[in-house]
Amino acid sequence: MTASVARRNGTAIAAAWMAGAIVSFSTLAVAGRQVSSDFDTFEIMLYRSGLGAVIVTALLALAGRLGEARPRTLPVHALRNVVHFAGQNLWFYALTVLPLAQVFALEFTTPLWVILLAPLMLGEALTVRGVVAGLIGFAGVLIVARPDFGDLHPGIVAAALCAVCFAVTSMITKRLTRSQPVTGILFWLNLMQFILALVAVHWRGDLPLPSPAQVPWFLLIGVTGLSAHWCLTSALNAAPASIVMPLDFVRLPVIAVVGWLVYDEVLDPLVFVGAALILGGNLLTLRPKDNGLGTNSP
């Protein structure tokens, strides 16, 4: 097989995995919003992480691979999951108060935060290309959010902060993947976040149970939360991030149409303009050897 054929095959496989990721992310966003009127973000995270932990454990047990969940570097897992837990709660909150397309567009700033934070967390040099990419991406954020700095909407703040949390999570994940399989990382992700959510819900002293009509939505939250991670990781294994990231960008028009059809949200052209600038900034930072560090998600 020639290199060009192998590259085309890898791109086709990555596109198939990204189709699954886009469906998963969009379904997760809709399901999260559907239950948000009766459940707060901690309660949603409790059910999502609990179901995710059960699914991952069952899959590992059926495959005879429970050894992959053996505890290693638990302090690093704990740090990753505390930050990711904060980001997930901010993301679910932003979904309830902002148009879906706006949340997704702001989430796309995650790779830009990686570039800015990597010198502090990974000791990597901040290049001129990184600075230019950050400025382009920041211009896109201003177009998407159009913030009123005198009265900043809390949803804008939440969506921006969740991108920062996902950036920190992705850098810690890079460290973990050097010595641990993705399944083990997912196992501790769900188990630790279930414990964090349980503590938060217990502190509040009340845990509503889903009604029969809400159970399918929570099942979707649990399943799509896992499938989104799995599909995205598989896409990055099949093709470089320079190919996967533009495919991931398809999430934005898809979720914009979903918001228009399901919630009667306005299709705002400026969101697409700003998101295109954010994508341009992201692509400027990519190199052929890129391993996908900048791509993360809820």
| Greatest pairwise CA separation for the chain in angstroms | 62
Q: What is the average pLDDT value for the chain, to the nearest integer?
A: 83
Which of 208, 204, 255 has the alpha carbon at shortest distance from 98?
255
Rounded CA gap, 187 and 116, in Å? 29
Number of alpha helices (DSSP H) and beta strands (DSSP E) in the chain: 12, 0
What's the pLDDT at 297? Answer: 61
How many angstroms from the chain centroid is the CA of residue 106? Answer: 11
Residues in the chain, how many? Answer: 298
What is the pTM for the complete model shown?
Answer: 0.82
What's the pLDDT at 194? Answer: 94
Q: How many CA atoms lie within 13 A of 113 on its CB side?
A: 20
Rounded CA gap, 91 and 220, in Å? 17
Rounded CA gap, 137 and 143, in Å? 10
Structure-block tokens of residue 229: 């991670």
pLDDT < 70 positions in the chain = 1-8, 121-124, 147-150, 241-242, 245, 285-297
Rounded CA gap, 52 and 88, in Å? 14
What's the pLDDT at 291? Answer: 44
205-261: pLDDT as tens digits: 777 889 999 999 999 999 998 888 788 778 877 777 667 767 777 788 888 888 999
Q: Which long-range contacts does 116-119 make (Cβ < 8 Å, 24+ apart)?
A: 117/164, 117/167, 117/168, 117/171, 118/171
3-state secondary structure of 196: helix
3-state secondary structure of 249: coil
What's the pLDDT at 296? Answer: 55
